[in-house]
Chain A
Amino acid sequence: MNIFRLSGDMTHLMSVIVLLLKIHTIKSCAGISLKTQELYALVFATRYLDIFTDFVSVYNTIMKLIFLATSFSIVWYMRHHKIVRRSYDKEQDTFRHLFLILPCLILALVVNEKFTFKEVMWTFSLYVEAVAILPQLVLLQRTKNIDNLTGQYVFLLGAYRALYILNWIYRYLTEKHFVHWITWISGLVQTLLYADFFYYYINSWKNNVRLQLPA
């Protein structure tokens, strides 16, 4: 464990807490893409298959349980909570995430470190996480009005990935033969997807204007 990874995990935790607080307290999920939330639930469900078989550390197990619980409860809130679901704009959130899931599954079957069920599922979860934010970014560009909680949520998610890249650089420098192209490339792609959002988010923050993404 290093400071980059710990702060990355904490930033990731913050992002889901911000989202849960927004949905739970103001009972609204306006501007949030259910498709992205479903993709994240899928990411954690396929990545943490070994939660009860391979014990890494107490921290690791607790964080996995938190991410599983929060991602599934956010999906539940947006789908079934009688008040929250009313604020979900399904007309705008139309990204066909199946078109993301299938290519990731095929790629995971072809490009992986070991052709076993667990390994393919783990690799699949990496690829899905890399593209999971796309429906949310598309929705933000459509709905124009980005409330600052949603903006903070996306910003924290991007920051968590950026910190993970620093973590991989640190581990590469300190642990010999720590080379994992699949993890690194999918993580890099994911972080790059946030690049333009970061640009507009920081600009809007600097000029103290509402965050507007270009059409």
Chain B
Amino acid sequence: TPDQTTKDEL
């Protein structure tokens, strides 16, 4: 999973 950021959000 991508590093724990909010990048997986739109």
Interface residues of A (CB under 8 A from B): 5, 9, 12, 50, 54, 56-57, 60, 63-64, 67, 113, 122, 164, 167-168, 175, 177-178, 180, 183
Contact = CB atoms under 8 A, between A and B. Distances in A.
Contacts of B2: 54, 56
B5 to A, nearest CB: 6
Chain B: interface size category = under 10
A57 B8 CA distance: 9
11 contacts: A5-B9, A50-B7, A56-B2, A56-B7, A56-B8, A57-B8, A60-B8, A64-B10, A67-B10, A113-B5, A177-B4
Closest 5 CB pairs of A and B: A183-B6, A56-B8, A180-B6, A63-B10, A9-B10
A38 B5 CA distance: 27
Contacts of B4: 175, 177-178
B10 A60 contact: yes
Given A54-B2, A56-B2, A164 B7 contact: no
A17 B10 CA distance: 16
The DSSP consensus for interface residues of chain B is loop
B9 to A, nearest CB: 7
Contacts of A122: 7
B8 to A, nearest CB: 5
Nearest to A47: B10
B7 A54 contact: yes
Contact of B10 (A12, A54, A113, A177): A12
Contacts of A50: 7
Given A54-B2, A56-B2, A180-B5, 15 more contacts: A5-B9, A12-B10, A50-B7, A56-B7, A56-B8, A64-B10, A113-B5, A122-B7, A164-B9, A167-B9, A168-B6, A177-B4, A178-B4, A183-B6, A183-B9
Nearest to A66: B10
A175 B4 CA distance: 9
Nearest to B5: A180
